[in-house]
Amino acid sequence: MTMNVYDTLKSLHIELPPVAVPAAAYVPFVQTGNLVFLSGHIARKDGKVWVGQLGKNIGTAEGQQAARAVAIDLMGTLHAAVGDLNKVTRIVKVMSLVNSTGDFTEQHLVTNGCSELLGQVFGAKVGAHARSAFGVAQIPLGACVEIELIAEIG
C-alpha cells in the first residue's frame, strides 16, 4: 500500500505553512480546468526572507536548502488551493529563479532542492516534472531563490 502525501510529509517532519499574503497585485494561485498555477514563492528562513546571492555570499548547498524551503511553502499553497494534496495527479512544471552572480552556473543544482523534495513527497510518477532554472540579477526583497509551480489535479 502506498503512503498518502500527508503520511510522507509527517515521516519527513514537514508541517505545511499557511498561504502567504501576496506582497503585490496578484493572487497566490489560479485554477483553470485541472491545472493549478502557483505564483512565485520566495525563499524564507525562520519566517524571514532568505536574503543572499548565489556565488557571492551563499553556496550551492545552502541554495538547495532554500529551494527545499520554497517547495514546502509551495505545497502549503497547493494544499490551500485544492484542499487535499492527494488530489494532485502530476507536478507538471517548476520554474526556478536563482539570485546569482554572473559567473555562477549551478542554478540547476540549487533547484534540485525543490525538485527532489517534490519527488520524495509525491513519488516518482506524480512528482517528476518539467523544469526551468534561471540565474537572475535580483529577486524581490533580495531573496536568494523564487520558484513557481504548475500542478494537475484529478
pLDDT tens digits along 72-87: 999 999 999 999 999 9
The pLDDT value recorded for residue 23 is 81
Of 146, 110, 115, the closest CA to residue 130 belongs to 115
pLDDT score, position 126: 97
Kindly tell me if the per-residue pLDDT of 64 is higher than 60.
Answer: yes
Question: Which residues, including other chains, have CB under 8 Å from residue 24's CB and lie 6 or more apart?
Answer: 140
Question: In the block, which residue shows the cell 536563482?
Answer: 98
Q: Mean pLDDT across the chain, nearest whole number?
A: 96
pLDDT digits (tens, 9 = 90+) for 1-56: 456 999 999 999 999 999 988 888 999 999 999 999 999 999 999 999 999 999 99
All domains of the chain, ordered by start, with CATH? 34-153 (3.30.1330.40)
* Beta-bridge partners for 94: 131, 149
Can you say whether the dihedral through the CA atoms of 70, 72, 73, 75 is positive or negative?
A: positive
Q: How far apart are CA 76 and CA 28, in angstroms?
A: 11
